[in-house]
Chain A
C-alpha cells in the first residue's frame, strides 16, 4: 500500500488514467502464465495454448481500450500481448524454461518501469497518462 501511495502522490510518474491498474493486471497475468508454462506445473500443452492465447486476447482488448476509450492502457496491453505471444511461440517449440524466462523478464521490466520511472513506450508515442493531473495543477 505504501508503494501505491508513493506512486499516486508523485504525479510525474506516468501511471494515471487506468495505466497503473492495467499494468498491475498485466504483471499478475504474466506471473500466472509463467507458473503455468513451467514444466513443474504439469499443465498440458492445449491448456497452456488456450491460456496464453486468451492472455494475448486480453492484451489486444486493453490496447484497443487505450486507442479509443481515452484510457492510457497501451503499455499494459502491449506488455500482455507481446509477452504472451512470445511465451506461446517458445512453448510451442518445446522451450518451456525459455518461455518462463521471457515472462519473468517482461514482468521485471514492467515492475521497474512502474516503480522507478515513466514508460519509455509512452514517451516514444508522446502519450501522457497524467495529463489531467498536470492540467489541474496550479
Chain B
C-alpha cells in the first residue's frame, strides 16, 4: 500500500509568481506612475547637469579643439545667464497659457450637448501650451517659420470634428497659445474671458436651437427618410417622456396593422393598404352597410368594447391612390349613426413588413406585440 506523500514545497517559480501577482489598485498604480515620472524628470535634470560638466570639460580641452561645433555647442550651453533668462520667460508663458486654456476646456465640457469627449477637452489645454512653445521658438525668425510649415505639412494631425462648435474651441485654444507665445498676455487674457463669456451666454440661452414638437419630429423623420437617413432613435431623444410613449405606441400600432395587412393578402391578390377605425356607442350595422357599399372591400378586423359601452371597430381595406384618403366615406361614417364618436383613417400605402410573421393570429389586435414586430421591423418604401 502506498503511503501518502507530504505536499510538495512550492517551487521557486510558484513562489515568484505569488510574489509578482499585481495586487495594486488602479489609484495606487496611478500614484506609482506619477512617482516614476517625477523620478524620471529628476534623472533628466541630473543628466543635464552631468552633460553640462562634460561639455565644459570638452570646451576647455585642447586636443578636442578641432571639433569646433562641439566646442561651440558646449560654450552655448554653458552660457548660464542666457539660458536662465530663456527658461524664466518660457516658464512664465507656458504657465499663463495653461491658466488661460483651463477655462476654455471647462466651458467646452460644460456646454457639450452630445456625448462628452475627454480627449478633445484635454487637447484644448495641451494644444494651447504647445502652440505657445512653438511661438516662443519661432520668435521673429522667418526661416524657422518656413521650417515649421514644412514640418507641420508632413504630420497628419487633422481630425474630423463632429460638432462644428468644437472647431471654434480648437481655434480659440490656438489663438491663446499664439498670444501667450508672443508674450501678448493681455490679449490672451481678454480673448479667453470674452470668448468664454460669449460661449456661456449662447449655451445658457440655447441660441439657434429650434422649438421641438411632435409635428417637427414627423417632418424630421420624413426628411431623414428621403435622404436615406433613418434616425428615429435620434429624433425620439428630443421628446419628453410622455410624448415618446405616445409616439412609440403609435408606431407599434402602425406596425401591427402593417403585419396584419400582409397576412390578409389573398394569394395572387392585392394587399390591403388602409385601415378605418370607428368608435361607436350604438350598433355597428349602419357602419357595416356603408362599408359594404363602398368600393374599398372592407373587412372587419377586430371589434372590442370598453367599460363605457364604446365599441371600437377596425376595418381593413384597399383603396386606389386617387381615393386616398376617402373623405366622403369618412364623412358618411361620422353621420350614419348618432352613436359614432370617432372615425380615423390610417394609410398603409407602400408600407411592407421586413418579414411577415406567420405566427401572428389573424385579426387579433388585442394580443400583445410579438417580439419580432417592433416598429423597427417595419420598412417603408418611400
Contacts and interface: CB of A to CB of B under 8 A. Distances in A.
Contacts of A56: 50
10 A-B pairs closest in CB distance = A12-B12, A60-B47, A53-B54, A46-B61, A128-B20, A67-B36, A134-B17, A64-B43, A67-B40, A134-B16
Contact of B16 (A47, A63, A128): A128
A137 to B, nearest CB: 6
Contacts of A49: 53, 57
A50 B58 contact: yes
A131 B57 contact: no
Interface of A is mostly: helix
Given A60-B46, A64-B40, A126-B19, A53 B53 contact: yes
Contacts of A5: none
Nearest to A14: B16
A60 B302 CA distance: 86
A81 B60 CA distance: 24
Interface residues of B, number: 21
Contact of A131 (B20, B36, B61): B20
B13 interface: yes
Interface in A92-138: 126, 128, 130-131, 134-135, 137
Interface residues of A, number: 23
B57 A134 contact: no
Nearest to A60: B47
Contacts of A67: 36, 39-40, 43
B44 interface: yes
Nearest to A64: B43
A134 B53 CA distance: 43
21 contacts: A12-B13, A46-B61, A49-B53, A49-B57, A50-B57, A53-B53, A53-B54, A53-B57, A56-B50, A60-B46, A60-B47, A61-B47, A63-B43, A64-B40, A64-B43, A64-B44, A67-B36, A67-B39, A126-B19, A130-B16, A134-B17
Contacts of B57: 46, 49-50, 53
Contacts of A134: 13, 16-17, 20
B110 interface: no
B54 A50 contact: yes
Contact of A12 (B16, B43, B50, B54): B16
A18 interface: no
Contacts of B60: 46
Nearest to A61: B47
A137 B13 contact: yes
Given A131-B20, A137-B13, A57 B40 contact: no
B73 interface: no
Interface in B10-53: 12-13, 16-17, 19-20, 36, 39-40, 43-44, 46-47, 50-51, 53
Contacts of B51: 57
A24 to B, nearest CB: 22
Given A53-B54, A64-B40, A131-B20, 20 more contacts: A12-B13, A46-B57, A46-B61, A47-B61, A49-B57, A50-B54, A50-B57, A53-B57, A54-B54, A60-B46, A61-B47, A64-B43, A64-B44, A67-B40, A67-B43, A68-B36, A68-B40, A128-B19, A134-B16, A134-B17
